[in-house]
DNA sequence: CTTCTTGTTTTGTCCTAGACAACAAGGACG
DNA sequence: CGTCCTTGTTGTCTAGGACAAAACAAGAAG
């Protein structure tokens, strides 16, 4: 009983591949080939689930499922990122220091990581800490996860510890809200919160009034929240992993349920490759977020 | 265009009802009845999505879908919780004070809420703060959400602010790990993290070494993490909203992938009504969690 | 040699409709 | 009044078919 078998729902949960896709691949490519239980339902052995997870990871890097499934399992692990990474390690400065921080995570030494980050925060100040430490670190972790040198749980640990640092830093900021009211959240299915926290830190530094609603808000609820809080700006975060095809439609629907005078900003790695939109302002870098905030103030303050 | 129409995927995202269920209800009960686009695909008007969300909420309270769909929409809002709530407000003490805190959330006054909670934390100390303030407050919010007096976004705001308070409090604890190594996380689809944080706070107070991995870890990854961190205990949280039928199977599968010497603890409102399990220890209250920790130490320390 | 445009293949999602197991409710019986 | 059993109710699985959107490949034009 060392190889527990998973039903199709469990495989969907664990791999992120929908039931439809799993059945379709079986039909088309002949993989995966689960055995069946007494009732004729699929039972996936753990070994196939692992291969599926690997395939999913490579797909997120731009490989195509047809090729991946045709590749023998042994060669799969040797595949490297295929998607263009021109911006990779665009911060040669301090790469060594960042590597040290990542090494601490890799060694599962939570305490040492926290301490090292606290020191950096104290040394750099919150703004530079976010822009020069947290942001590149997050990107590096993403890359390392993609090329397989970080396990999922190591990424989770990194995220959890870093979230704490940022939230703690935000909490200690003096609250002198003078700027716009910014509602920060993400749509359902989008669980990544680090980007939101980074933006919140920068905005809070600028004196904006941030209303953090966490992740995964249903669209209609975002509309209600914007109204109830009289938000000036609704800021959404889309991670690189979010299915890009859905984003334009989501923004359009959201625009319809938002109050007219509320601005809609969409940011994160997920919107970098999205065509410009009439429904929302697309923000691809932290610097741009800050400058958009300044622009907003420039547009609004003189008028009122 | 004030009534945007949702495709079936959007409705699934926003209501939490699976595509299969949506199509099944249409077949069986004749509701919802979406119109179709040029391509024959379902288009749900916002009005039906709202009714579906309401139905989902009432279902989570124990009502049955067949009855709910037969009920005319006007009467739906009048329905009250049906599930037995014997433990409701079992803390008559201080109910007034808790109500004040909830009122602050209801007024969307984040700053005042945070300040009031900080004061309570300072006054009560972390242990009593968790047990006498955060826990009952969380339960009250759950009840208020169920009976409709709290909006989704108000619950999100409460959760987000309370998470921050707890994490901040945990971070300031002196780290003198003398107890077991406890890995804290939840399974995929389970996003509620407040329960984990409460337990982490209590365990950290007792000197246990907590490894917070956030939520939504794939089962096989939990196994790897437990091994990598040499966890003595893997603690999972299941909220009341988690589909209970799946829990025993999950625990069984997880038990198979965990190292044999790692204990598996499952806690939260979701396990309260689950039959006792050979695979995991079921923990239904915070007090029980603390006493289990003491038991573990009693069992282990003398032996080693 | 690059860039744009046009077919062609790949791939995911949606569709219908049937079957059945797990659960809840209601009734019979001790 | 509790316990067992029958009878609904409900969700999830199965099967294959269809189609549109995205990715690729190839050719044309600059």
Q: What is the pTM assigned to this prediction?
A: 0.88
Tell me, yes or no, whether A277 and A252 share the same domain: yes
Q: Which residues have C-beta within 8 Å of that of residue B20, sequence separation ≥ 6?
A: none
* pLDDT tens column, B34-89: 999 988 999 999 899 989 999 998 888 888 999 999 887 777 776 665 554 444 44
Please give the mean pLDDT across all residues of chain B: 87
SS3 A281: strand
Within a domain: B89: no
Tell me, yes or no, whether A158 and A48 share the same domain: no
pLDDT at B272 (0 to 100) = 80
CATH for B11: 1.10.1660.10
Distances (CA, A) of B53 to A156, B68, B78, B86, B198: 31, 12, 15, 26, 29
Percent of chain B with pLDDT over 90: 57
Asked if strand D contacts A7 at the CB level, meaning under 7 A, the answer is: yes
The DSSP code for B242 is: S
Tell me, yes or no, whether A185 and A166 share the same domain: no
CA distance B241 to B142: 10
pLDDT at A270 (0 to 100) = 81
Nucleotides of D under 7 A from a protein CB: 9-24
Which of A96, A198, A110 is closest to A140 using CA atoms? A96
Quick one: average pLDDT of B18-33?
Answer: 94
The answer to whether B224 contacts A151, with C-beta atoms less than 8 Å apart, is yes
pLDDT at B87 (0 to 100) = 45
Which range marks the domain in which residue B47 is found?
A: 5-76
Tell me, yes or no, whether B11 and B112 share the same domain: no
Number of independent structural domains in chain B: 3
* A151 CB within 8 Å of a chain B CB: yes
Alpha helices in chain B (DSSP H): 8-15, 19-29, 46-60, 65-70, 73-76, 95-106, 110-128, 135-146, 152-171, 194-205, 219-228, 247-257, 286-300
Tell me, yes or no, whether B130 and B219 share the same domain: no
Within a domain: B213: yes
In the predicted structure, residue B125 carries a pLDDT above the cut 70 = yes
* A243 CB within 8 Å of a chain B CB: no
Provide the 10 A C-beta neighbour count for residue A5.
18
- Say if CB A200 and CB A184 are below 8 A apart: yes
Tell me, yes or no, whether B127 and B236 share the same domain: no
User: Best of A177, A214, A251, A279 to disrupt the B interface by mutation (most B CBs within 10 Å)?
Assistant: A214
In the predicted structure, residue B293 carries a pLDDT above the cut 70 = yes
* Residue bearing tokens 């409705």: B11
Tens-digit pLDDT profile for chain A (304 aa)?
446 788 999 999 889 899 999 999 999 999 999 999 888 999 999 899 989 999 998 888 788 999 999 887 777 776 665 554 444 444 455 678 899 999 999 999 999 999 999 999 999 999 999 999 999 999 899 888 877 789 989 999 999 999 999 999 998 887 667 779 999 999 988 889 999 999 999 999 999 999 999 998 988 889 999 999 999 999 999 887 787 777 888 888 889 889 999 999 999 888 877 777 778 898 988 999 999 999 999 887 664 4
Tell me, yes or no, whether A44 and A143 share the same domain: no
Domain stop point among B171, B189, B215: B171
| Residue in chain A lying closest to B5 (CA) | A253
| A:90-149 residues touching chain B, CB 8 A cutoff | 108, 110-111, 114
Contacts of A15 in chain B (CB under 8 A): 218
pLDDT at A121 (0 to 100) = 95
pLDDT at A304 (0 to 100) = 44
Tell me, yes or no, whether A205 and A295 share the same domain: yes
Within a domain: A12: yes
Which of B172, B163, B235 is closest to B194 using CA atoms? B163
Q: Which residues have C-beta within 8 Å of that of residue B253, sequence separation ≥ 6?
A: A4, A6, A10, B219
Within a domain: B82: no
Tell me, yes or no, whether A52 and A132 share the same domain: no
pLDDT band, very low/low/confident/very high, at B301 (cuts 50, 70, 90):
low
CATH for B99: 1.10.1240.10
pLDDT at B81 (0 to 100) = 56
Q: At what angle do helices B152-171 and B194-205 cross, to 10 degrees?
A: 20
B253 vs A228 pLDDT, higher one: A228
Which of A240, A101, A16, A216 is closest to B217 using CA atoms? A16
Which of A292, A219, A296 is closest to A256 using CA atoms? A219
Tell me, yes or no, whether B15 and B101 share the same domain: no
Within a domain: A82: no
- Say if CB A199 and CB A267 are below 8 A apart: yes
Domain stop point among B122, B138, B171: B171
**Residue B200, CB-side half-sphere exposure with 13 Å CA sphere:** 27
Domain stop point among A143, A171, A199: A171
Within a domain: A89: no
pLDDT at B147 (0 to 100) = 76
pLDDT at A90 (0 to 100) = 47
Q: Which strands form A42-45's sheet, in the order they lie side by side?
A: A5-6, A42-45, A35-36
CB-count burial class (<10 Å; 0-12, 13-18, 19+) for B272: middle
pLDDT at A84 (0 to 100) = 47
CA distance A209 to A204: 7
Within a domain: B259: yes
SS3 A210: strand
Tell me, yes or no, whether B155 and B223 share the same domain: no
pLDDT at B302 (0 to 100) = 60
Within a domain: B176: no
Tell me, yes or no, whether A151 and A59 share the same domain: no
pLDDT at B88 (0 to 100) = 45
């Amino acid at each position: 009983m060392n190889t527990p078998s998973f039903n199709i729902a469990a495989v969907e949960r664990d791999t992120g591949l929908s039931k439809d896709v799993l059945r379709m691949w079986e039909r088309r490519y002949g993989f995966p080939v689960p055995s069946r239980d007494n009732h004729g339902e699929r039972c996936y052995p753990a070994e196939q689930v692992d291969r599926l997870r690997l395939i999913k990871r490579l797909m997120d890097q731009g490989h195509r499922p047809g090729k991946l499934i045709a590749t023998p399992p042994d060669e799969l692990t040797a595949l490297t990122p295929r998607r263009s990474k021109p911006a990779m390690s665009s911060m040669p400065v301090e790469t060594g220091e960042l590597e040290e921080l990542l090494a601490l995570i890799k060694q599962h030494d939570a305490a040492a990581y926290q301490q090292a980050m606290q020191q950096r925060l104290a040394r750099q100040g919150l703004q530079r800490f976010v822009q020069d430490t947290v942001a590149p670190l997050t990107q590096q972790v993403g890359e390392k996860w993609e090329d397989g040198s970080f396990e999922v749980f190591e990424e989770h640990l990194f995220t959890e510890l870093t979230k704490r640092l940022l939230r703690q830093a935000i909490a200690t900021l003096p609250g002198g809200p003078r700027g716009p009211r910014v509602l920060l959240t993400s749509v359902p299915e989008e669980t990544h919160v680090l980007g939101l926290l980074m933006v919140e830190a920068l905005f809070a530094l600028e004196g904006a009034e941030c209303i953090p609603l966490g992740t995964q808000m249903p669209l209609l609820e975002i509309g209600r929240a914007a109204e109830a809080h009289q938000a000036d700006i609704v800021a959404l975060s889309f991670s690189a992993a979010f299915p890009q095809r859905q984003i334009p439609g989501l923004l359009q629907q959201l625009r319809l349920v938002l109050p007219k005078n509320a601005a809609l900003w969409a940011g994160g790695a997920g919107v970098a490759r999205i065509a410009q939109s009439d429904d929302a302002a697309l923000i691809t870098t932290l610097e741009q977020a800050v400058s958009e905030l300044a622009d907003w103030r420039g547009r609004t303050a003189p008028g009122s």
